[in-house]
Chain A
Amino acid sequence: MHHTTASSSRFPRLKGAPLVACLLLAAARPSYAQLPSEPVTLFDGRLVMTGELRITVAPLDEGYFNASDYNHNLLRLLTFGVLAEGRLSDRISVLANVEDRTAIGRLQGGGDRHVLLPYALFVRVRPWKRHAFDVEVGRVPRVFGAFATAEYAASNPLIGRPLAYQYLLALRDDSLPSSTTDLFANQGRGWRVDYPIGETTPAAGVPVVASTRLDTGVQARWRSRWLDARAALTRGTLSHPLARDNNNGNQLAGRIAVMPTPALVLGISAARGAFVDEDAVTALPDEALRRDTFAQQALGLDAEWSWSRFLFRTETIVSSWDLPAVAAPEIDRPLRAVSAMGEGRVKVTPRVYAAARLDRLTFSKVPDPTGARLSWEADVTRLEIGGGYRVRRNVTVKLAYQHNWRDTQRFDRARFVAMELSYWF
């Protein structure tokens, strides 16, 4: 690991951030008693709406450790989401989730400060009222991984997200490296990836599993006392969910979780889908390469143990992407990423909890021009320690310290203190 001083001066800049959060909280305090704490219902219960507001502040992240795939820093964001469920009958409902995101402070990666995301839109059908079997069609929730269930800020004990679900890799679906030299040139630059084949305009890369967008397709889910099984057929991939197909390929994903005791949940997830955009494939110089399918495939293992005031989660994801071997030094094997994460939470009082997460993302090796094998992406480690204070059942203030290490020459480490205020109804 290379240590430079590039980021060491960043820490003092956090001075204003907690102050802003405190002011926001103070301003909110007199009025939050008037805010709804229950879902809003209209048309005699036919339409039920719930929402969540999050204000997250942190110092500038010059190393883009917390950039999302919309060029927003997830630690400097105002997010307001509304989830509406239209209950057409006892068995059929339509769910729509819209999320409005506004970057706080200076924009780092270009793009729009304000984004309105149609996050989810699907029909849920429950064929048998007394059985927890659902079929969902449309822009549907993820089935892969344990973090899929952490849909509200309250489910995430810290402020940052696990690396596998957020950290941008030097990898794009619409732009391809011709050799490992291109990969090395883009190491640790997932927020601005620049490759010569396909779309050549620099743009953000993809994470192992995208958590800020959902895929489009159909999924089925069955839940019992011991088992939670889900399967989905969608257009995109874990890294790059899609509203419209871009490569005539589908993804098949599934997860099975068993609950041998109430205290323990063990899950296994798998997915495989066509990853590379058809336009990028068409731009390949070799006809034989253009006939290949370049897929992402992933396997995940997760566990959650809880008892009394303690909660512990761990998740490991191994993902690989097939990319064409165009020029020397060739990408001779699928590019692989391995993420391993462990997090814990303990409730100290009814209002206060403490939490910590240790997260590591490592990568497989490819040949360099000398024949030596080096990681195709820069390994990343993240430690986040923090806690939360529940002002009310649906109002929480979180404070966290995050330390990131990356195996690169520049921006090799960054540390932040972040604060988040969240409210849901």
Chain B
Amino acid sequence: MVLVGLVLALALVGVAPGVAAANGTIRGRITLPPLHPIEHRPSLMQPPATAPDREPSQVGVVYLERAPRGAFEHPENRRYRMNQRDERFVPHVLAIPTGSVVDFPNNDPFFHNVFSLSRPRTFDLGRYARGRSRAVRFNRPGIVRVFCDIHSHMSAFILVFAHRYFAITDEAGHYRIENVPPGTYTLAVWHETLPTTTRQVTVPESGDITVDFVLTRSEGGPVSPKRSEGG
């Protein structure tokens, strides 16, 4: 469902209202239901090095399903970073525009092997040691699940958007999407363990609007993005 929305974001560029001189801001807060702790895969031979962190990620991503016209007159070419630290990917969720490059530095004193088999970007960075980093460019929108081939409990998400109208929430759920041209849009919220939730919003000629979401397990589409992009 989310993947479809993200692809639509690319396909429908130019259909939505055009970029105007006066733009607004969409802001708000998402409230998550109680989340189940993260459970590591049991292992007969390799018990975890230290007591695993079971806290689930509270971070979500809010985005426009359809981008305003002219959103890509100036393609993005930014660099982002996803660290490997304490057998975790930090941050656990990254949202980037297409064309961006993500660096994957290893901060642990042992090897990691970052890879993804997701359709938007398939890659395998091989094994490399602490202090080294390898980079991947993401040119296609969609959800990329990232794993470590050595530590099966390590995973992360990279959401690649075909526009710049998205925001990652903070741990308290706050978000802010700035410089949105006036018009009516579909605003979507993604969280790794919950169905995607959408809402129609109208951005006025000037000023901000506040859109809060209270997410539940049953709301939205039936397909969890985690499962649909499990590769």
Q: Which residues of A contact B (CB under 8 A)?
A: 33, 37-39, 41, 44-45, 48-50, 83-85, 90, 95, 97, 120, 124, 126, 129-132, 134, 141, 148-149, 151, 221, 223, 225, 259, 261-263, 306-309, 311, 347, 349-351, 390, 392-394
Contacts and interface: CB of A to CB of B under 8 A. Distances in A.
Contacts of A262: 109-111, 127, 129-130
Interface in B216-231: 226-228, 230-231
Given A39-B42, A48-B42, A84-B42, A221 B127 contact: no
A126 B47 CA distance: 10
B interface secondary structure, majority = loop
Contact of B43 (A41, A49, A151, A261): A151
Nearest to B42: A85
Nearest to A119: B44
B44 A83 contact: yes
A151 B36 contact: no
A48 B153 CA distance: 13
B200 interface: no
Interface in B40-76: 40-51, 54
A129 B51 contact: yes
Given A263-B129, A350-B122, A392-B230, A225 B42 contact: no
Contacts of A148: 45
Interface in B189-231: 226-228, 230-231
Leading 5 A-B pairs by shortest Cβ distance = A85-B42, A308-B126, A350-B124, A37-B230, A392-B231
B124 A309 contact: yes
Given A262-B110, A263-B111, A351-B122, A393 B231 contact: yes
Contacts of A390: 117
B80 interface: no
Given A307-B127, A308-B128, A347-B124, A225 B110 contact: yes
Interface of B: 36-37, 39-51, 54, 109-111, 115-117, 122-124, 126-130, 145, 147, 226-228, 230-231
Contacts of B145: 393
A210 to B, nearest CB: 15
B45 A151 contact: yes
B88 to A, nearest CB: 16
Nearest to A83: B42
A151 B122 CA distance: 26
Contacts of B226: 38
Contacts of B122: 350-351
B230 A45 contact: no
A212 to B, nearest CB: 14
Contacts of B48: 132
Nearest to B47: A134
Contact of A306 (B37, B45, B49, B127): B127
A90 B51 contact: yes
Most B C-beta atoms less than 10 A away, residue of A44, A148, A349, A390: A390
Interface centre among B44, B115, B117, B122 (most CB of A within 10 A): B44
Contacts of B115: 350
Contact of B117 (A83, A151, A392): A392
Given A350-B122, A392-B230, A132 B50 contact: yes
Contacts of B228: 33
B44 to A, nearest CB: 5
A50 B42 contact: yes
A308 B117 contact: no
Given A223-B49, A393-B147, A95 B44 contact: yes
Nearest to B111: A262
A310 to B, nearest CB: 8
Contacts of A90: 51
A302 B181 CA distance: 63
A251 B224 CA distance: 50
B49 A132 contact: yes
Given A131-B50, A132-B50, A351-B117, 13 more contacts: A39-B39, A41-B39, A45-B39, A83-B42, A126-B47, A130-B51, A151-B43, A151-B46, A262-B110, A263-B111, A308-B126, A309-B127, A349-B124
Nearest to A131: B50
A411 to B, nearest CB: 34
A344 B170 CA distance: 45
A40 to B, nearest CB: 9
18 contacts: A33-B228, A37-B230, A39-B40, A45-B37, A45-B54, A83-B43, A95-B44, A120-B44, A129-B50, A131-B50, A132-B47, A151-B45, A259-B110, A262-B127, A306-B127, A309-B124, A311-B127, A351-B122
A347 B127 CA distance: 11
A49 B43 CA distance: 10
B49 A350 contact: no
A98 to B, nearest CB: 12
A141 to B, nearest CB: 5
A83 B42 CA distance: 7
A393 B110 CA distance: 22
Given A90-B51, A308-B127, A308-B128, A141 B117 contact: no
B192 to A, nearest CB: 11
Contacts of B126: 307-309, 347
Given A134-B47, A263-B129, A95 B42 contact: yes
A53 B197 CA distance: 35
Contacts of A41: 36, 39
A168 B59 CA distance: 54
A362 B90 CA distance: 50
B124 A124 contact: no
A70 B197 CA distance: 53
Contacts of A394: 230
A124 B41 contact: no
A131 B36 CA distance: 25
